[in-house]
Amino acid sequence: MIKEFEPIVQGIIDLVGEWEPKLLKLPNDVITGRRNSQNRTIKQIVGHMIDSASNNTHRIVHLQYQSSPLRFPNYATQGNNDRWIAIQHYQDEDWETVVNLWKYSNLHIAHVMQYVNPDKLENQWHCDEENLESLKDGIIDYLRHFKLHLREIEELIKQA
């Protein structure tokens, strides 16, 4: 494994282990009733995190065998992440299923990160029309994004 990725991979694994039991014990009114500034419930935030893990896993794989810079859809721009949440009806899905999808999709991306080809780290994708992001930068940023959404969930849990 690339040394620089060790704390990212371990951070994901540790947070999944810490948060899985917390998420599973939350009452239904908390996961479906409280909303963040983007009008997302905890269920929808966790669903977005599943989508993030899935899209980032695919991006990591594509960036290791396709030509650079890669054209790969950015599901998170122009409101598309909210479309993904709505189309998949996370709000109506069984909570244990959602948490398990979240858990295993994030454990899987951590696994994939361990085996990234170091020769491909500078391969880039078009994250929007004007900007490119390298495979390395995308991996490094994943844990920050993961923590950001866990903080959002924490704030919603603390609401009275």
Residue spans per domain, the chain: 3-158
Q: What is the pLDDT of residues 83-95, one digit of tens each?
A: 999 999 999 999 9
- From the CB of residue 12, how many other CB atoms can be counted at a distance below 10 Å? 21
Residue 132 DSSP SS3: strand
Q: What does the pLDDT read at residue 27?
A: 97
Look up residue 71 and give its two tokens: 């054209």
What value does the mean pLDDT take over residues 140-159? Answer: 97
- 134 - beta bridge partners? 124
Q: What are the C-alpha distances in Å from 94 to residues 24, 44, 89?
A: 11, 12, 10
Q: What does the pLDDT read at residue 129?
A: 82
Residue 134: phi and psi, rounded to 5, are -80, 160
* 97 compared with 74, residue with greater pLDDT: 97
**Model confidence band, residue 72 (pLDDT cutoffs 50, 70, 90):** confident
Whether 121 has a pLDDT exceeding 90, the answer reads: yes
* Stretch (H or E) spanning 81: helix 80-88
Domain 3-158 class in CATH = mainly alpha
Q: What does the pLDDT read at residue 76?
A: 76
Q: What does the pLDDT read at residue 80?
A: 86
As a whole number of angstroms, the distance between CA 145 and CA 143 comes to 5
pTM of the model: 0.95
Q: What does the pLDDT read at residue 160?
A: 67
